[in-house]
């Protein structure tokens, strides 16, 4: 077994199985404490919530609790391994929510026989939570599942592989293009993958200025073009009038490659076809479409990012979902709308241009980090993410009228320890 494999299995197994547990937030030392926590005292908040459901936010953990829910149909880039196999990833998302934004998580793996059964299950349990993070659900089913749940639930429902990925990709892309001396409006973009993450990333880039006719989306059948009759409605929105048919055709002269597909699908020969200063976001997890080693050995002008934490430029939705939900929960937003997503992307883009504190460099074992080819996007360990991204999201929710609480008194948060500060 490789070192990483052994270490990863050991990490998950020892000293106790899994990565999360439930913690108590109130005293339980005395009989009096127990009579408050449970019978008879617990009847009082029950009566209050029965009278006014909004009081669940005052008397229970609902307002800080997010469900991370999967059906296991697209686990990272590993494919459809079923709901139970998705549990380590869902627990992992819980770890990140808690570590970076103080959000409590129940991970829920649903064994659903159909998208409708999944929707019905999630809808029925949704009242427990302040928000729902859908995860690793394959396209095209994910689009209808998310749409239906947004419509049926009065709390934010957010498919992270779509929007979290799009927000972080857009932030990194704006910076990478600036460094390459290119404009989003002119960029020729190749997107390998036409699923949940790819469709949403291209939609967001298009809404921020990329031209749909400059985007070549590619699935297992090749280029998504207007002559194809096998496209679902989501892919069809990106069908271009073109004679290009293969990934290699599309890469000819391309400025940008975004990989949201699977491992080792971009070859050195393909990369050589791209324009000067090519931007390569090989975001498939755990194994990217091309390794940074091969990309840098092939071209010395490449601006390279992956979804992994062990290389520079980690374009991964970990930079988004903890802070986006933090901001949304703190103003009790009913939804996470486009304005909130764009606010998050711009906050991430701008943070990468600020001087990086010594503690962040130390966490990554480097002497310094500064805006440039090897640092186009903030690091997940940067404590300023909760300050800036959550603040931008909360403000956007207020400005667009989807917040039900005013700007919080403890904002902008200085750190995760500030979350429950009065
Ligand atoms: N870095 C990050 O933050 C994130 C990375 N990802 C990564 O993106 C990838 C896709 O995830 P997601 O969108 O959720 O999954 P989906 O199942 O929704 O989509 C997968 C897409 O990849 C395409 N694909 C797979 N293999 C190939 C191939 N050999 N050639 C061309 N296209 C291929 C599929 O094509 P077809 O439509 O023909 O089946 C499909 O369009 C995963 O590797 C995942 O780890 C996802 C979210 C976040
Ligand atoms: C990062 C992530 O959500 C994924 O690869 O699916
Ligand atoms: Mg995912």
- How far is the CA of 260 from the CAs of 103, 274, 292, 316, 399, in angstroms? 27, 18, 16, 11, 32
Q: Which helix (H) or strand (E) holds 200?
A: helix 196-207
pLDDT of residue 125: 98
Q: Report the distance separating Cα 92 and Cα 98, nearest Å.
A: 10
- Side by side, the strands of the sheet bearing 104-109 are 104-109, 65-70, 131-134, 157-159
Q: Can you tell me the mean pLDDT for 184-206?
A: 98
Q: Can you tell me the mean pLDDT for 193-212?
A: 98
pLDDT of residue 421: 81
Indicate whether residue 74 lines ligand 1 (CB < 6 A).
Answer: yes
- Name the active-site residue from 62, 93, 98, 341: 93
∠ CA 413-59-127, nearest 5°, is: 90
Is 0.90 surpassed by the pTM of this model? yes
Ligand 2 atom at minimal distance to the Cα of residue 77: 5
Indicate whether residue 315 lines ligand 1 (CB < 6 A).
Answer: yes
Q: Which helix (H) or strand (E) holds 109?
A: strand 104-109
pLDDT band at 329 (very low <50, low <70, confident <90, very high): very high
Q: Does the annotation count 375 as an active-site position?
A: no
Ligand 1 atom at minimal distance to the Cα of residue 140: 18
Q: Whose CA is nearest to atom 5 of ligand 2?
A: 76
Which ligand is nearest the CA of 79, by number? 1
- Contact between 261 and 192 (Cβ < 8 Å): yes
Q: Report the distance separating Cα 24 and Cα 46, nearest Å.
A: 19
Helical pair 196-207 and 338-351, crossing angle rounded to 10 deg:
80
pLDDT band at 422 (very low <50, low <70, confident <90, very high): low
- Contact between 218 and 192 (Cβ < 8 Å): yes
CA of 77 to the centre of ligand 1 (A): 6
CA of 194 to the centre of ligand 1 (A): 7
CA of 284 to the centre of ligand 3 (A): 10
Terminal C-alpha separation, the chain: 50
Q: Does the annotation count 57 as an active-site position?
A: no
Q: Whose CA is nearest to atom 4 of ligand 2?
A: 76
Q: Whose CA is nearest to atom 6 of ligand 2?
A: 76
From 235, 260, 284, mutation site for ligand 1 pocket: most ligand atoms within 8 A of C-beta = 260
- Cβ burial of 11 (10 Å; 0-12, 13-18, 19+) is exposed
Write phi, then psi, for 324 (nearest 5 degrees): -65, -50
Q: Can you tell me the mean pLDDT for 142-166?
A: 98
Task: Specify the DSSP class assigned to residue 375.
Answer: B
CA of 139 to the centre of ligand 1 (A): 9
Q: Can you tell me the mean pLDDT for 347-360?
A: 98
Write phi, then psi, for 133 (nearest 5 degrees): -105, 105
Assign 130 to helix, strand or coil: coil
Q: Whose CA is nearest to atom 28 of ligand 1?
A: 220
pLDDT band at 247 (very low <50, low <70, confident <90, very high): very high
- How far is the CA of 337 from the CAs of 43, 71, 142, in angstroms? 37, 24, 17
Q: What is the mean pLDDT of the chain?
A: 97
CA of 332 to the centre of ligand 3 (A): 24
Share of the chain above pLDDT 90, in %: 99
- Cβ burial of 45 (10 Å; 0-12, 13-18, 19+) is middle
Share of the chain above pLDDT 70, in %: 100
DSSP 225-292: BTT-S---HHHHTT-B--S--SHHHHHTT-SEEEE-S-TT-S-HHHHHTS-SS-EEEE--SSS-SS-H
CA of 89 to the centre of ligand 2 (A): 9
Indicate whether residue 66 lines ligand 1 (CB < 6 A).
Answer: no
Q: Can you tell me the mean pLDDT for 301-324?
A: 97
Alpha helices in 39-195 (DSSP H): 43-51, 56-59, 87-101, 115-125, 141-152, 160-180
Q: Whose CA is nearest to atom 2 of ligand 2?
A: 76
Q: How many CA atoms are closer than 13 Å to the CA of 52, on its beta-carbon side?
A: 7
pLDDT of residue 231: 98
Q: Report the distance separating Cα 110 and Cα 120, nearest Å.
A: 11
Q: Which helix (H) or strand (E) holds 328?
A: helix 321-330
pLDDT of residue 245: 98
pLDDT of residue 290: 98
Q: Can you tell me the mean pLDDT for 99-114?
A: 98
- Name the active-site residue from 5, 11, 26, 38: 38
pLDDT digits (tens, 9 = 90+) for 265-290: 999 999 999 999 999 999 999 999 99
Q: How many CA atoms are closer than 13 Å to the CA of 175, on its beta-carbon side?
A: 30
Which ligand is nearest the CA of 287, by number? 1
Q: Can you tell me the mean pLDDT for 343-352?
A: 98
pLDDT digits (tens, 9 = 90+) for 9-55: 999 999 999 999 999 999 999 999 999 999 999 999 999 999 999 99
- Cβ burial of 36 (10 Å; 0-12, 13-18, 19+) is middle
Ligand 2 atom at minimal distance to the Cα of residue 285: 5
Q: Can you tell me the mean pLDDT for 209-222?
A: 98
CA of 128 to the centre of ligand 2 (A): 25
Q: Whose CA is nearest to atom 2 of ligand 1?
A: 316
Q: Is the pLDDT of residue 257 over 70?
A: yes
């Amino acid at each position: 077994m490789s070192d990483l494999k052994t270490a990863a299995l050991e990490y998950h197994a020892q000293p106790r199985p899994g990565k999360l547990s439930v913690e108590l937030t109130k005293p339980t030392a005395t009989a009096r404490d127990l009579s408050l926590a449970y019978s008879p005292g617990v009847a009082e908040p029950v009566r209050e919530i029965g009278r006014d459901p909004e009081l669940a936010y005052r008397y229970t953990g609902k307002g800080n609790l997010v469900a991370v829910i999967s059906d296991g149909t697209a686990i990272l880039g590993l494919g459809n391994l079923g709901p139970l196999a998705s549990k380590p990833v869902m627990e992992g998302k819980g770890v990140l929510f808690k570590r970076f934004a103080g959000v409590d998580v129940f991970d829920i793996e649903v064994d659903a026989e159909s998208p409708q059964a999944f929707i019905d299950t999630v809808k029925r349990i949704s009242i427990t939570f302040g928000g729902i993070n859908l995860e690793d659900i394959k396209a095209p089913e994910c689009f209808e599942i998310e749409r239906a749940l947004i419509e049926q639930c009065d709390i934010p429902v957010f498919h992270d592989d779509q929007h979290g990925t799009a927000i972080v990709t857009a932030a990194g892309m704006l910076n990478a293009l600036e460094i390459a001396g290119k404009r989003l409006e002119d960029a020729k973009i190749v997107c390998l993958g036409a699923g949940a993450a790819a469709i949403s990333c291209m939609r967001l880039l298009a809404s921020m200025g990329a031209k749909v006719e400059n985007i070549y989306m590619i699935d297992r059948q090749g280029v998504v073009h207007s002559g194809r009759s096998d496209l679902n409605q989501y892919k069809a929105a990106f069908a271009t009038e073109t004679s290009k048919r293969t990934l290699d055709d599309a890469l000819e002269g391309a400025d940008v490659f975004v990989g949201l597909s699977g491992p080792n699908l971009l070859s050195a020969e393909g990369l050589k076809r791209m324009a000067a200063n090519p931007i390569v976001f090989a975001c498939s997890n755990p194994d990217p479409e091309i390794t940074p080693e091969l990309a840098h050995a092939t071209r010395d002008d490449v601006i390279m990012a992956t979804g992994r934490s062990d290389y520079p430029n980690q374009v991964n939705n970990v930079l988004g979902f903890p802070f986006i939900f933090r901001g949304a929960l703190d103003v009790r937003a009913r939804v996470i709308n486009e304005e909130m997503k764009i606010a998050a992307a711009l906050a991430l883009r701008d943070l990468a241009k600020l001087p990086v504190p010594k503690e962040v460099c130390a966490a990554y074992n480097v002497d310094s980090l500064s805006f440039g080819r090897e640092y186009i996007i903030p690091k997940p360990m940067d404590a300023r993410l909760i300050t800036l991204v959550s603040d931008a999201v909360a403000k956007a929710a207020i400005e667009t009228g989807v917040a039900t609480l005013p700007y919080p008194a403890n904002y902008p948060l200085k750190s995760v320890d500030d979350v429950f500060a009065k």
